[in-house]
Structure formats: structure tokens, C-alpha cells
Amino acid sequence: MSKNAVYYVSYKLKKGVSVPEFLLAAEKLNNEHISKQKGYISWQQLVDGDTWADVCTFETMEDLKNFENASREPSEIALAFYSFINLPSCKGHHFTVEKSYF
């Protein structure tokens, strides 16, 4: 049985950006693009002070890698989302879900 895959990326927003506008851009990106990708399960946005983290879960690592490869040429919706982020601050990792507790 395939294990779920998680993409975790932490980042900081650019100085002076509007958090409500950033969250609207994220919601639009999720609703119009990310949630329609094969194997998509969820996207959570976390915040601790000025550090944000996205946790995207896909059914398999193959689904996650296919999504990541397709994202190398971002759409206008994705570019609008990225415009809020201090891109050099991004640190991403791929994880395979070994065990879940609910």
C-alpha cells in the first residue's frame, strides 16, 4: 500500500504585505489549481510569529513529485501567491508519512 507524501515548506512573508490578502491568494490558488491535482489530499497553512509553513499532503510521493514538476512553470494565480513570499527564506522538504495518529 502506498504511503501518503507531505511537502513541508517554511518561509517568511515580504515586509508590509497584507496577511488577509495573502490568505485570499492562497485560497484562490488552492481552489483553482492545487486541489485539482491528482492525489491531492489537503493543504494546511501554519504560522508562528513571522514564520509561515505550508503542509501539502498527497496520496503518494509520485503524485507530489508530479505536482511539483508541473509547478515549475507557475500560473498567474501561483505567481500572485508567490508575490507575497520572501522567496529566499523558503526551506522545503519532502516527507513520506510513516504513521498517523488521529
pLDDT digits (tens, 9 = 90+) for 5-51: 999 999 999 999 999 999 999 999 999 999 999 999 999 999 999 99
Using CA atoms, how far apart are residues 98 and 53, in angstroms rounded to an integer? 20
pLDDT exceeds 80 at position 1: no
Q: What angle do CA 36, 20, 84 make, to 5 degrees?
A: 70
Supply the pLDDT for residue 2: 81
Domain ranges of the chain: 5-96
pTM, two decimal places: 0.92
The CATH-assigned architecture of domain 5-96 is 2-Layer Sandwich (3.30)
* % of the chain surpassing 90 pLDDT: 96
Determine which helix (DSSP H) or strand (DSSP E) holds 14, and give its type and residue range.
none
